[in-house]
């Protein structure tokens, strides 16, 4: 979804917002991210347009930042909401200087740190998830025997 509020005729450069080292000109929401948004973030405004509008406004206000300094796939929105995103270059689209523009593909929303304390340290959260899933699989395999 492109920024709908930008009515530009007579412009040479597509609209983009810089996040870290990427120039974002488009946002794509996966179906999984939409489901997680409805479950973990907002139950009223759950459409693709609602989520994209929210993300565009946060990008414009510089309210999205990387969760870890060296990793570029987990982001914090308003220092609370944790989002996983990937980036892909847009074909045939560049800025005036010839640098590529990107689309941000939102993979999922992990939730709010204020509500889920485990999100404060993602590395321990993921190891806990792996452990709990492994234990569930072990328990289920015992039942089948």
With cut-offs at 50, 70 and 90, classify the pLDDT of residue 36: very high
**What whole-number distance in Å separates Cα of residue 56 and Cα of residue 25?**
10
Q: Give the torsion through C-alpha atoms of 50, 56, 61, 62, to 10 deg.
A: 120
**Continuous segment of H or E residues that includes residue 86:** strand 81-94
Q: What is the per-residue pLDDT for 33?
A: 93
Q: What is the per-residue pLDDT for 10?
A: 43
| pTM higher than 0.85 | no
The residues spanned by each domain of the chain are 1-114, 115-145
Mean pLDDT of 32-59: 90
- Pairing assessment for the beta strands 22-29 and 100-112 based on DSSP bridges: parallel
**What whole-number distance in Å separates Cα of residue 123 and Cα of residue 93?**
36
Q: Which residues pair with 29 in a beta bridge?
A: 106
**Does 142 have pLDDT greater than 80?**
no
* pLDDT tens per residue, range 59-116: 999 999 988 877 778 899 998 999 999 999 988 888 888 888 999 999 999 988 888 7
């Amino acid at each position: 979804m492109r920024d709908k509020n930008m009515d530009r005729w007579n412009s040479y450069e597509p609209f983009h917002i810089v996040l870290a080292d990427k120039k974002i000109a488009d946002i794509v929401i996966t179906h999984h991210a939409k489901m997680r948004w409805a479950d973990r973030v907002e139950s009223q405004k759950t459409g693709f347009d609602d989520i994209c509008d929210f993300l565009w406004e946060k990008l414009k206000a510089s309210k999205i930042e990387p969760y870890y300094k060296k990793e570029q796939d987990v982001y914090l929105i308003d220092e609370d909401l944790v989002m996983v995103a990937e980036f892909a270059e847009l074909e045939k689209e560049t800025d005036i200087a010839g640098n590529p523009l990107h689309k941000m593909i939102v993979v999922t929303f992990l939730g709010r740190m204020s509500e889920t304390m485990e999100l404060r340290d993602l590395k321990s959260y993921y190891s806990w998830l792996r452990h709990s899933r492994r234990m569930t699989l072990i328990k289920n395999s015992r039942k089948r025997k």
